Amino acid sequence: MKELKLKPYKPRLVQALNEDDPDRRLEFCEWFLDAADEDPTLLDQILWSDEATFYLNGHVNRHNCVYWSDTNPHYVIEQELNAPGVTVWGGIWSHGVVGPYFFESTVTSDNYLQMLRNSIIPVVEEHQNFETMIWQQDGAPPHYGQRVREYLDDTFAQWIGRRGTIEWPARSPDLTPCDFSLWGIIKDHVYAGKPRDVEHLKLLIEQEFTSFNGDIELCKSICRSVANRCQMCVSTEGAQFEHLL
């Protein structure tokens, strides 16, 4: 390969976008950058949250996919995100991580609300920065239930999500730290531990969350990197941009 002057380039797995998604993504990123310019502490106020699926039998590792070329083709692979397995909720902000919370059945609006009321909000409201916290969640159906939205309206002065006080753009995992960083790091470490069964899998996940809370500077770095990603998104007019990073 050296004789041919070829270099390895790894394709990125990215979320496919619908026709009107770029406009919504652009609107959010422009709001975020303007708000962060007015108040730089915004970067440390948002608690980014999401669910993820963990497998017992491995996962797709894009680092095994290599494209050889003499120039970077900025190759991308579109991927529909839908996977069965152990469902875990987690959150990250500049002050650490929250969770994990394990769903023992399919996530619904009812058990998502129950999680918020009984397990998550009682924890985060003890934090000294809770009064200025901005909750973020994507537009998944369980997050969109009327009772969930009413609860978030009552709990937070501002929250980001589908029909939130700040609208979250659909199909934008490249803009939320859970998707572009947190879950990937945790999965790499968890799978390296070779989980034997579901209980062992859960234990490994819990250990990784504890490890994250021991590295607040990493949490800050991950969350503050959203600003750069929003700038990239604006530069592509709301289109996919991770292949340019």
What is residue 6's predicted lDDT score, i.e. its pLDDT? Answer: 54
Rounded average pLDDT over 86-94: 97
Residue 171, token pair as written in the block: 């199909």
CATH class, domain 21-65+85-244, is alpha beta
Question: Is a pLDDT exceeding 90 seen at residue 5?
Answer: no
Give tens-digit pLDDT for 32-47: 999 999 999 999 999 9
What is residue 11's predicted lDDT score, i.e. its pLDDT? Answer: 56
CB 8 within 8 A of CB 51: no
Question: Is a pLDDT exceeding 70 seen at residue 161?
Answer: yes
Question: Is a pLDDT exceeding 80 seen at residue 108?
Answer: yes
Q: pTM, whole model, 2 decimals?
A: 0.84
102 to each of 11, 118, 203, how far by Cα in Å? 31, 13, 11
What is residue 58's predicted lDDT score, i.e. its pLDDT? Answer: 62
What is residue 66's predicted lDDT score, i.e. its pLDDT? Answer: 40
Please identify which residue in the block is written with the tokens 């859970």. 178
237 to each of 67, 187, 230, 241, 243, how far by Cα in Å? 27, 31, 10, 10, 15
Q: What is the DSSP letter of 238?
A: T
Question: Is a pLDDT exceeding 60 seen at residue 121?
Answer: yes
CB 137 within 8 A of CB 48: no
First and final CA of the chain: distance in angstroms? 24
Give tens-digit pLDDT for 56-82: 876 534 443 343 444 454 445 443 344
Phi, psi dihedral angles at 53 (to 5 degrees): -110, 130
- Predicted confidence band of residue 154 (pLDDT cuts 50, 70, 90): very high
Higher pLDDT, 198 or 48: 48
Question: Is a pLDDT exceeding 50 seen at residue 29?
Answer: yes
Mean pLDDT taken over the chain = 87
Alpha helices by DSSP H, listed for 116-145, are: 121-124
Residue 128, token pair as written in the block: 């000294």
Burial tier of 126 (Cβ tally within 10 Å: 0-12, 13-18, 19+): exposed
Please identify which residue in the block is written with the tokens 């919504």. 24
